[in-house]
Structure 1
Amino acid sequence: MVAVTLLAPVLLGCLAAAKTCTNVTVPVTIMARQGMFEVPTLQSNFDATTFALNFTTQGTNFTNASLTGYQTVNLPANISAKYCKPDNDSSASPTVQVLSHGIGFDKSYWDLPYNDYNYSYIDVALAHGFHTVSIDRFGIGNSSHGDPLNVVQAPAEVSALYDITMMLRSGDFPSVSTAFNKVVHVGHSFGSAQTYLLSAMHPNATDGIALTGFSMNATWLPQTLADWNLHLARLNQPLRFGNQTVSRSSRWTALFFNTAPVQLLQSVLQSIGIQLSPYQVWEEIATTELGDLINQWNATVAPIAQNVPTGYLTWSDFTSNIFAFLHPGMFDIGLGIFSEMTKQPVTLGEIFTLANGAPMINPFTGPVQVVTGQRDAIYCGGDCLNTGGVAASIPAMVKSNFPDASVFETVIQPNTGHGINLHYNSTGAYEAIQTFFTSNNLGGY
C-alpha cells in the first residue's frame, strides 16, 4: 500500500551530531556502454540556445536524431567523496548511506556550509546512527572530468557509483576500515535517477533506496530546459568554469574588493543619469547574469579555474534557479544566492541521458521511499498532488515501477520545491528518510 505523508515543518537545527568527516579521493574504473552523439561544437551562448530549442521541439526526438552508435567506455577516474561518522558511534555493524546529488549541485548539497550547517542532511543522518558517503558525481565538482558529450553520461556515473558501493561492502573504501554489511542509497533528482538505475542493474548492490526530488514523469523536462535558458558554464561564471584567474595585486581588483558591487554599480548608473536605490541595484545584480559574472570576485578565497569544455552548460541566473529548484517565500534568500554562487554545470551527455535507459520495471526487492517537494516544478509541474484523481500524488505513481519492493512509501514535503535541502522545512524530509530506513531494519539507533 502506498503511504502518502504530508510533513509539517520541522525547525532547523533540531538534531546535530558531533561528527568526524574525511575527504577522500576514490579511484574507480568507469565501465559503461553508452551512446555516441554528434552535435555541432558549442561556441557561444547562442549555440546553447539552439541546442535547447532542438532538444525541446515538439514532435521530434533530438536524442535519437543525434545518436550515431554506441561505445563501451573503459577508463580510470577519481571520485571526490566525503566520509562521515558520528563521534559517539558504538555500533558493531553500522549502516552507511551513499548520497548522490542532482544536477546543479555537488556533494556539499548534503552538508551545506551555510548558517552554521543548519541545512545539513548529513548531521541528521549521523544523529540517527548512520554513516554517510557523499560523492561528487563523475564529471562534476572535484571528481575527474571528461568529454562532456560522449563520456560524462548517466551510465558512466552509475558505474562509478557501483564501484564505490562495492568498496564499502568489501572494506576497500579509502581511509575506512569498515566493511559495511548494510549499504543504502539516497539520491536527489538526477542522483535519484542514477540510484534507480543502480538498483535496476545491480539489485543486490543496495539494501534500500530513498529517491528524493523524483518521479517517473518527464512531462516537464522541456519546461525545465526552457527555464534554464542554457549558457556555456565557462561564460556564465568565467572565474570558476573558464580559464580566468584573479590577480588581487592588480589595481582594478584591489579597487573592486574594497568597493561593494552595489555601491560601484550605483555610482556608475548615477553618472549616466539613472537613479536606482541600493536595493534595486542589489536585485539587478542578484537576479541577472551580472551576479554570476561578479559573485566570485568578492569570495574570501579566489576560485580555481576549472577551464571546462563548452559542452558543460548551466542555467543563466538566480531567477532560473528559483523557478527550477525553489518555492518562493519558503527559502532563505541568502542560501538561494549561495546556491547560485556555488552551482555546478550539466553536460550535454547528461542531458541526452536524463532518462538513462532505466527499465520501467525495476526488479529491486528491498524497501523504496520517494520523497518529493509538493511544489516540485521539474518532476511535478509545480503541484505533486494534482493527478486528476488517478493517484494520491505524482511521485506515488512510482510504485508501479517497483512491483517487487518489500515496502514502498511516498512522502510529499509541503511548501517545498525541487531542491528540498534548500528550504526552511528541509529537516522534515531528512527525518522521514531516517525513520524509513530505521523502521525497515536498515540501521540507525
Structure 2
Amino acid sequence: MAPTLKALATSLFAGYAAARQCQTLSIPVDISSRQGVFKKVPVETNLDASAFATRFNEFQYNYTAELFTGFQTLQKSIKISAQYCTPDGGSNGIVQVLSHGIGFDKTYWDLSYDDYKYSYVNVATASGYSTLAIDRFGIGNSTHGDPFNEIQAQAEVEALNEVTKKLRVGSISEISCSYEKVVHVGHSFGSVQTFWLSALYPNNTNGVVLTGYSNAAEFFPYIVAGWNLHSARLNQPFRFGNASATGVQALAQQYGVQGDIVPGLTAILNKIGVDVDTEEVRQYVASTEINDLINGYNHTIFQYNYPSGYFAHSALTALQYAFLFPDQFDVGLAVESEKTKQPVTAGEIMTIGNAPKVSQFTGPAFVITGQYDVPFCGGNCYGQAQNITAANIPAGVKTAFPAASAFEAYIQPNTGHGLNFHYNATAGYQIIQDFLGRNGLST
C-alpha cells in the first residue's frame, strides 16, 4: 500500500533540525496579578514535602483553604526566558507560543534527544510557523520567586499575556517583526494557563491548542500522590540547591558520586559475589533515586538555587506513572529527561484549580490528550468523568468553549500524559498543524 501524504510528511520531520533558526531570549515584562496569600508551612525536607502532599490530598478536606489568609495584588518586574525559532524559508506570519507543563521547561517542545527526533518545534517550523517556547514565570531560567505567594497560576497567566502583547506590537528587541496572529499551545499546566488566558483575554489569542488536557478535575490528587514529592533542593542538590556547598561537593567527588558510577559499582558487586552486568546496574540506577542524586551532584550548565517550597517528583518511576505509558516511550529519553526536569511550587499546586470554567474565546480551539493520560483522564480518556456527558473526557472540553468558531478533541492512541515523549509524538504534532491549517491559521 502506498504511504499517505501525511505519513510521508511526518517521516520527513526528523530531517528538519537544521531547517530553522533559533535564539534564546530574556524578555522583560511587568505583571500585576490578584492572587492568594498563604501561610507557609515547613517544606524543606523530603518528609516535609510528603506531608504537604498528604494534607493536600486529604479526602473531604481543603488544605488550601486552611493555609489561605487573604488576597494581594502582586506587582513585579520579571524576565521570561524563551527560545524563539523561525523557519529557514521564512515564517507564514503566525507565531505559536508554547507553554510547558509541570516538571519540564521550554526544552519540552524541542527535545534534543536522538537528533531532535521528538521536537515539536521542528514540526511547527517545517509547517511555516515561528515558535516562542517560554519558561513559565518561576521556572527554569525565568525569574524565580516566593514559592507560596508569588509563583502561582494567576501570576504565570499574566506573564504569558504580557509576552503575547509584546509579540503583537513587535516590542521584543531580538525579534525583528510583530505578529498579528498568535496561536497559544500548552501542555498540562501550560494548557491550563493557555485556557485561562483565553478566558481572561480572549482577544489576545487567535487559536488555542491544549495538549495533555481536559476539564475533569477529580484526577489531580492522583498526580500529586504519584509524584512522591521531594524538596527540589534535596532531589538534585547541585542543580536545584546551592552549588556553593563545597563541602558536599568534595564528598561527592571523594566517593565517586560524580560521573558515571555504573562501571565501578558493577565491579564492586561482582567482587562480592553478585553476578550482574553493567546494563543491569544501569537499569537499576536509572529507575531509582540514585539517578537523581548523580544528576544533582554533577555540574550542569544551569544551577537554579530554588528555595524551600519548590518540589520535584522523586525519580524516573514517578515520572513514568505521571507522564508515560509503559512500553510506548524510549527509556533513554526518559532517563535524559531527569537531567533537565524542573520543579513545581506549593503556590502552583494550591492555585491550579482556580482557572475559569468557561472561555468566551471566538477562535478555533483544539484538545489533544493521550489515551492513557493520568492527571486529566485517570488513565482512561475513553471513560466517563464526573459532570461530563460527552462521548469521552477530552470531548467534554467543548462546553468550556461555547463561542469557539471551531472545536475538536482528539485522543492520541498508545500515549500517556507527556505526549512529546512517546514514540508516536510527531504524528500528534502533525494533527495539530492540520487543525490549524483547516481553521485559517496557516499560509
Band the TM-score falls in, shorter-chain normalisation: over 0.9
The match for 1:261 is 261
Given that residues 213 and 419 in structure 1 are in contact (C-alpha distance below 8 angstroms), is that contact kept between their aligned partners in structure 2?
yes
Change (3 A) 1:81 1:240: same
1:140–1:411 CA distance, 2 compared to 1 (3 A): same
Equivalent residues of 1:245, 1:305 under 8 A apart: no
Q: 1:442, CA displacement in angstroms?
A: 1.2
SS at match of 2:282: helix
1:75 counterpart letter in structure 2 = K
Shift of 1:226: 1.1
Alignment partners' CA distance in 2, 1:404 and 1:143: 34
Q: CA, structure 1 residues 14+37, in 2 after alignment: closer, same or farther (shift >3 Å)?
A: same
Shift of 1:207: 0.6
TM-score where L is the length of structure 2: 0.92
Distance 1:363 1:58 in 2: 33
Q: Compared with structure 1, are the counterparts of its residues 258 and 217 closer, same or farther at alpha carbon in structure 2 (3 Å cutoff)?
A: closer
Tell me the SS of whatever aligns to 2:164.
Answer: helix
AA matched with 2:320: I
Q: What is the 5 A alignment of 1:210-229?
A: 210-229=209-228
For the 8 Å contact 1:12–1:119, the answer to whether it is kept is: no
Residue in structure 2 matched with residue 176 of structure 1 by the alignment: 175
- The Cα of 1:391 is off from its aligned counterpart by 2.6
TM-superposed deviation, 1:257: 8.5
Aligned residues: 433
> Deviation at 1:8?
9.0
Q: Whole-Å Cα distance in 1 between the matches of residues 91 and 209 of structure 2?
A: 25
Contact residue 15 and residue 124 of structure 1 kept, 8 A: no
2:329 aligned residue: 331
Which residue matches 1:75?
Answer: 76
CA distance in 1, matches of 2:333, 2:115: 12
Q: CA deviation at 1:269?
A: 3.9
Change in CA separation of 1:321 and 1:362 when aligned onto 2, cut-off 3 Å: same
Aligned to 1:191, what secondary structure does the other structure show? helix
Confirm or deny: 8 A CA contact 2:236 2:297 kept in the other structure. Answer: no
Aligned to 2:3: none
Answer whether contact 1:12 1:425 (CA < 8 A) is retained. Answer: no
| CA distance, structure 1, for counterparts of residue 433 and residue 59 of structure 2 | 41
The match for 1:409 is: 408
More helix by share: 2
Task: Show CA shifts across 1:148-206 (max 9, x none).
Answer: 11000011111110111000111112311211111110000000000010000001000
Aligned to 1:378: 375
Give the match's secondary structure for 2:352.
Answer: coil
What residue is the counterpart of 1:4 in the other structure? none
Mapping 1:135-284, distance limit 5 Å: 135-244=134-243, 253=253, 256=256, 260-270=260-270, 274-284=274-284
**1:365 alignment partner in structure 2:** 362
Contact 1:239 1:303 in 2 (8 A): no
For the residue of structure 2 that corresponds to 1:125, the secondary structure is helix
Q: State yes or no: 1:113 paired with 2:112.
A: yes
Write the deviation string for residues 190-243 of structure 1: whole angstroms up to 9, x where unpaired. 000000100000010001100000001121111111111100001000010011
1:20-45 superposed Cα distances (whole Å, 9 cap, x missing partner): 11111100112100111113121211
Cα distance in 2 for partners of 1:252, 1:199 equals 48
- In structure 2, the CA distance between the partners of 1:433 and 1:258, relative to structure 1 (3 Å rule), is closer
Once residues 302 and 193 of structure 1 are traced to their aligned partners in structure 2, the CA distance between those partners, rounded to angstroms, is 30
The 8 Å contact of residues 252 and 297 in structure 2, kept in 1 or not, is answered as no
Alignment root-mean-square deviation, CA:
2.4
Describe the SS at the equivalent of 1:379: coil
Amino acid at match of 1:175: E
Matched, 1:289 2:289: yes
Residue equivalent to 1:418: 417
Q: Please say if residues 168 and 179 of structure 1, whose CA atoms lie closer than 8 Å, have aligned partners that are also in contact.
A: yes
Which amino acid counterpart does residue 368 of structure 1 have in structure 2?
A
Report how far residue 406 of structure 1 moved: 0.8
Secondary structure of 1:105's aligned partner: coil
Q: Give the aligned partner of residue 27 of structure 1.
A: 28
Distance of aligned partners of 1:257 and 1:399 in 2 relative to their CA distance in 1, 3 Å threshold? same
Task: State which drifts further: 217-226 or 129-138.
Answer: 217-226
Query: 2-side partners of 1:262 and 1:19: how far apart?
Result: 38
Does 2:355 correspond to 1:354? Answer: no
Give the Cα separation in 1 of the matches to 2:418 and 2:48.
28
User: Given residue 334 of structure 2, which amino acid in structure 1 is its aligned partner?
Assistant: G
Query: Is the Cα–Cα contact under 8 Å of residues 257 and 294 in structure 2 kept in the other structure?
Result: no
Which residue number corresponds to residue 42 of structure 2? 41
Any idea what SS the aligned residue of 2:202 has? coil
C-alpha distance in structure 1 between counterparts of 2:414 and 2:338, whole Å: 21
Q: How far apart, CA to CA, are the structure 2 residues paired with 1:178 and 1:159?
A: 22
Deviation at 1:89, TM superposition (A): 1.1
2:50 corresponds to 1:53: no
- What TM-score results when the alignment is normalised by the length of structure 1? 0.92
Gaps of 5+ in 1: 1-6
User: 2:155 aligns to what SS in structure 1?
Assistant: helix
Residue pair 2:237, 2:296 contacting (<8 A) in 1 also: no
The equivalent residue for 2:435 is 436
SS of equivalent to 1:96: strand
Matched residue, 1:3: none
Deviation, structure 1 residue 14: 5.2
The 5 A counterparts of 1:306-321 are 306-321=304-319
| Residues 246 and 302, structure 1, Cα contact 8 Å, conserved in 2 | no
Q: Any stretches of 5+ residues in structure 2 without a counterpart?
A: 1-5
